[in-house]
Amino acid sequence: MLTDNIRKALNDQLQAEFNSAYLYLSMSAYFDDQGLEGMANWMTVQFEEEQSHALKLFRYIIERGGRPELQAIEQPQRDWDSPVAAFEASLDHERMISGRINDLADLAVKEKDHATHNMLQWFISEQVEEEANVESIVSQMKMVGDAGPGLFMIDREMKGRTFVNEAAGA
């Protein structure tokens, strides 16, 4: 049984994960429009990852006897000044999400909800990985600049990213 505070916080995080998914799908459309298919693919995979995070929370709320409440999803930003600016925005976004997950873990401790605290450990590790991945892309892109052969090489590498549902069953 979830306390009201935890239930509300988990539902808010469920919405935040869908907002993340929508943001990355919008970034995918932006990169596709820029002719950067690898980056568009990377963002589509990110969209799928965020949906899997939302689904993990959705299932957890049900498992604990709650009912997920689907809140409205924000309209995402449509354009960025440059490819690197889009990845920098993604990094800022992930740092914000990490802060939210940490607050949620603090709340679980405060409410003595050890099961939720335990479930959140997966998200805490996932955030470390997400921030590190985007940080490394941003620094590579800064090294090669916002156009030219270096950028196209990074783009080509990103075509290989595929979705693996790590959130399922973890």
Residues that bind ligand OFO (CB under 6 A): 17, 20, 50, 53, 94, 97, 130
Smallest gap from Cβ 53 to ligand OFO, in A, equals 4
Measured CA to CA in angstroms, residue 50 lies from 96, 153, 163 at distances of 14, 26, 11
Smallest gap from Cβ 130 to ligand OFO, in A, equals 5
The identity of residue 16, as a single letter, is A
Smallest gap from Cβ 154 to ligand OFO, in A, equals 20
In the complex, residue closest to ligand OFO by CB: 20
Smallest gap from Cβ 17 to ligand OFO, in A, equals 5
Task: Give, rounded to a whole angstrom, the gap between the first and last alpha carbons of the chain.
Answer: 21
Closest CA to 118 of 129, 105, 99: 105
Smallest gap from Cβ 98 to ligand OFO, in A, equals 8
Closest CA to 144 of 28, 32, 39: 39
Residue 53 or 117: the one with the smaller Cβ distance to ligand OFO is 53
Write phi, then psi, for 21 (nearest 5 degrees).
-55, -45
**What stretches of 64-113 show up as alpha helix (H) in DSSP?**
83-110
Residue 97 or 105: the one with the smaller Cβ distance to ligand OFO is 97
143-162 b/e (C-beta count within 10 Å ≥ 16 → b): eeeeeeeebeebbeebeebe
Residue 88 or 151: the one with the smaller Cβ distance to ligand OFO is 88
Residue 1 or 162: the one with the smaller Cβ distance to ligand OFO is 162
Residue 7 or 13: the one with the smaller Cβ distance to ligand OFO is 13
